[in-house]
A and B are shown apart, each in its own frame.
Chain A
């Protein structure tokens, strides 16, 4: 049977009521084909192929309807996904899902890299990177293609429209199918006017459309050609621009989070509440209750309890465990041990040259005699300590000796060396080297058991430890967030912030950085020039100092001295909030460990010392000094810069009234000034320790007077003119004067005027005093009298921290970082700008078409 598909279709198609042909139709369904159907008639009256009225429209987006459009698009995408899963999606929907896949893939990459990065900033930048890349893909065609094209030609080349099925598409996507009917004559003509199309040409609309189409094609091509270059560069630039803002936001958030830890330590520390130790220990104790408390078990218990302790405290704790919890080790000799001893003796004696079965039987005592002998010695079947091991060995040795003597007597031809036999029994070598056949058994005969007393004590201890750990971890988190030796801590961000601004304050130009970046000496020289230039003028000095002090003083708002202090630099001796909490926590823990029913005194001492004044090496002190030292190092580095600027200023404005220079020969004054300028800019703690090695003129010109200063620099009259120079180790006064010049006496009034308004004034002044005291009181064996304060024994760590980083080194490092980021910006920013320029410029040449002859000319 053959059926006709068209006939079948027609038989089921909606029919048209001839009376309402134009607008309305009545649907009728025929089950059978119309016998009198005439296809030609149907085609002629066109009711059969009447097109549906289009519902397409041009879309215009703006900032106000953007959220609504975004939402609508998301709904569309969700529906597209649903359709695609069920296999019913159309081409447009599938295209949309590709974009969805791209986004999902991007999120996966950012998500994965997020987990690999350590700090909030680097984690955050992964998502910024994704957003900037997707953003750059979307923004480039808008700013480099759409906007210029609109401004030049008045044509929106990225125009979108919605077709009759609600599918959003770019208008110029397919040049062979442009839905011109969506534009009204008025709109087309308006664009034609804008493009300068003559008004009196035939088929003006068609001509304008052709021109628009041409512009569309050209711009689409330009977009494809430029997007590959533009997107990565724009993405990088967006990241660069975003980074400081994200950094500031995260820094602020991190700082506030840290502050909250300190103010709500009790609550916050619950985050670290962890009973894992307790559970693990309880499990172990319960499983071994009343079982032998051997070495392995002891170590297992110790390893649980000391898991989070520092090695020093852990050692004390292990001793406490042995002495105050486990008690003394005891051993019990029983029949099986005796049997084992005899077996061991057999093994060892077999190796004696000439030892035969008869010898072994004769010399090695039997179980019964050993047992009896040990019973007689009072060491059998009882708990004995290691000290009584020798009794056991001696008893057995005696038995064997007697047997050996008897054997020798009865076998004159097979004499054995009794001393050697004795030695074999007494062998005290370690187990690995086959220890004494007796002791090796004894060691395995440990008899002390894990009784309920020990268990109860340990369960108490673990509770104390858990509670202590919980709070200590919270304090550690606080310390890490604030001053940790890690990137993106409050102090690290502060350091970077000040360092970068310092370059601006001192007036470093990018080209100066570029030229000197690879040589610290060169950059140091530029730094000195910059400082000397600034200090030569009151206004420029005040301006720079104000900025500098303001920037450096940020530390006291970021890390309040009431929360974390540097006692060495503060006038009052009041404890900071952090120190108070640390004291309370560590002392409390130590007190608990000292309790009579615990008796862990060694651990308590390692934690909090014998008393309040015992601070050497205690865990409590470590907890405090870590933050103090970190703060001291950073503050000293920046206060040193203030002091350096001040010295340069004093020399520039009033060198001759500086007390340290008074009454000196001009040449010595010049030497002193040069030394101080170098030391303040480049000196390390080792320079202070060796009391400033300087090649000087041993016979300076004996002219008194004033040094000449011009533009912030000393015009040396004598210094540098002599070539026969040497260090003068006997001249302690030179050292003392240099220290005086740098750290003693009043600071310059201009500096004080700025500092007076600042929260760091007291600390800066104290800093100078402390340097004089600690570094000036440091004894150097080669120059023992080079002291300006009483000799002290301050550790080199404090001296190192007080010296801080040398300004030239700081500038050198910061300069390199700045150079790197500026270089990147210069290369890619320049390329991006050029690309944008070319892209825009090219559009002026687009859309050129020869207009048809004007109708008026005809």
Chain B
């Protein structure tokens, strides 16, 4: 079923009941570029997380004809989170049945493992910013730019009027099919058509006031996206590994003794947070300082070094290449000419 993308305003309602009209009001009526800020990202994350645990599994288990790849990918959060909790449980749950001495010993390792799982996730996620932020700053390309996509689905039945849904994607999630169109300015809002591309061109030292900054920058943006994605893939796992290593430091044992999540007991809870901070600093130092001799002594430094290097090298590879690229040569597109597509 092919529907025009922008005709949601044309009131496609299949129900005979006219009262159904306007019942559902979507946040967006067409694919919309969203600001890349913590609030929007949190909202998108929450939406995806809720759907991953509720709507999409329900659709998937029913074998809905509208189930799609986006939903499958979004559901990937489920094993990631459940698996993390599962790993924590595997190392800790049985300990409560052990004799006191065994329990203490097993819990020491178990709690470090659990913290390792947590740090793995947190650092894996955070460390992607170590690539995207500098790349954005240096090239103007926001590799994480989100947008809302309006999806038209097949009605499940004759009475099913709810045929639209929103998916949250990233403009550059596909390097083969980036949503270039969303980056063009809206003339109605007084935006210059190529204002986003102009900014990127300027940052990439390609000059200002180019006639076709979009065409000029696209190949370079693609290259930046590919290289950034590579850097994110490698470095995020290296940072995740560093997180696990950090969690395995001895000073955390102090925190485990004071650990509490009972926020309704503020004194204990804040003490716990305080000890967490102290243990974090001490553990970071212990990771850097190392123990033993030879490789064991320097393993923490090496791991940290690799993580730092992978981020730095990733950014340099992404930025330097794009900034130093020779100008696009083409017989078809001439930058000083105006082109139309007819």
Contacts and interface: CB of A to CB of B under 8 A. Distances in A.
Given A90-B175, A94-B175, A823-B94, A85 B237 contact: no
B15 interface: no
A625 interface: no
B296 A94 contact: no
Main secondary structure of the interface of B (DSSP, over half): helix
Contacts of A111: 299
Contacts of B3: none
A88 B226 contact: yes
Interface string A62-97: 000000000000000000010111111111001001
Nearest to B53: A225
Contact of A225 (B78, B93, B97, B222): B78
A644 B129 CA distance: 68
Contacts of A233: 86, 90
Contacts of A218: 60-63
A213 to B, nearest CB: 8
B206 interface: no
Interface string A764-796: 000000000000000000000000000000000
Contacts of B224: 87
A108 to B, nearest CB: 4
B226 A174 contact: no
B83 interface: yes
B203 to A, nearest CB: 17
Nearest to B227: A87
Contact of B230 (A2, A85, A820, A846): A85
Contacts of A115: 292, 295-296, 299
B22 interface: no
A132 to B, nearest CB: 11
Contacts of A98: 233
A98 B86 CA distance: 22
A214 interface: yes
Contacts of A105: 124, 236-238, 240-241
Interface in A207-227: 210, 213-215, 217-218, 220-222, 224-225, 227
Contact of B236 (A101, A109, A231, A820): A101
A113 interface: yes
A820 to B, nearest CB: 5
A95 to B, nearest CB: 9
A8 B303 contact: no
Contacts of B223: 87-88
Contacts of A106: 237, 241
A820 B110 CA distance: 14
Given A229-B82, A229-B86, A232-B89, A108 B238 contact: yes
B233 A100 contact: yes
Given A217-B60, A232-B86, A233-B90, A176 B68 contact: yes
B230 A94 contact: yes
A109 B79 contact: no
Nearest to A112: B245
Contacts of A87: 222-224, 226-227, 318, 321
A518 interface: yes
Interface string B204-233: 000000000000000000111011011001
Contacts of B227: 84-85, 87
Contacts of B234: 97, 100-101, 104
Contact of B340 (A2, A236, A517): A2
A245 interface: no
B60 A112 contact: no
B59 to A, nearest CB: 8
Given A116-B248, A175-B69, A221-B61, A90 B240 contact: no
A224 B69 contact: no
A816 interface: yes
Nearest to B56: A221
A174 B68 contact: yes
Nearest to A827: B94
A350 B321 CA distance: 81
B57 interface: yes
A3 B306 CA distance: 51
A518 B99 contact: yes
Chain B interface size band reads 35 or more
Given A85-B227, A89-B175, A228-B78, A816 B102 contact: yes
A217 B63 contact: yes
Given A6-B342, A225-B78, A94 B226 contact: yes
Interface string B308-337: 000000000110010000000001111001
A236 B337 CA distance: 65
B64 interface: yes
Chain A interface size band reads 35 or more
A5 interface: yes
Interface string A738-765: 0000000000000000000000000000
B264 to A, nearest CB: 30
Given A8-B332, A231-B79, A236 B102 contact: no
Interface in B69-107: 69, 72, 75-76, 78-87, 89-90, 93-94, 97-99, 102, 106
A327 to B, nearest CB: 38
B83 A228 contact: yes
A218 B56 CA distance: 11
Nearest to A117: B296
Contacts of A83: 226
Nearest to B80: A228
Nearest to A1: B337
B296 A116 contact: yes
B230 A5 contact: no
Contacts of B124: 105
Contact of B342 (A4, A220, A221): A4
A841 interface: no
Interface in A93-134: 94, 97-98, 100-102, 104-106, 108-109, 111-113, 115-116
Nearest to A104: B237
Contacts of B175: 89-91, 94
A213 B63 CA distance: 8
Contacts of B148: none
A229 B86 CA distance: 6
Contacts of B81: 228
Nearest to B175: A91
Contact of B69 (A85, A100, A173, A231): A173
A353 B106 CA distance: 72
B94 A91 contact: no
Contacts of B291: 116
A824 interface: yes
Given A3-B337, A108-B241, A220 B299 contact: no
Contacts of B63: 213-215, 217-218, 846-847
A812 to B, nearest CB: 10
Given A218-B63, A228-B79, A3 B226 contact: no
B102 A820 contact: yes
Interface string A224-248: 1101110111011000000000000
Interface of B: 56-57, 59-65, 67-69, 72, 75-76, 78-87, 89-90, 93-94, 97-99, 102, 106, 124, 174-176, 222-224, 226-227, 229-230, 233-234, 236-238, 240-241, 244-245, 248, 291-292, 295-296, 299-300, 303, 306, 317-318, 321, 331-334, 337-342
Interface of A: 1-6, 8-9, 12, 81, 83-91, 94, 97-98, 100-102, 104-106, 108-109, 111-113, 115-116, 173-177, 210, 213-215, 217-218, 220-222, 224-225, 227-229, 231-233, 235-236, 517-518, 816-817, 819-820, 823-824, 827-828, 846-847
6 contacts: A97-B230, A106-B241, A177-B69, A218-B60, A224-B72, A232-B89
Instruction: List the 8 closest A-B pairs by CB distance, nearest first.
Output: A228-B82, A221-B60, A105-B237, A87-B223, A214-B63, A174-B69, A228-B79, A108-B241
Given A228-B83, A823-B97, 8 more contacts: A3-B337, A85-B317, A87-B318, A105-B241, A173-B72, A220-B60, A224-B57, A517-B99
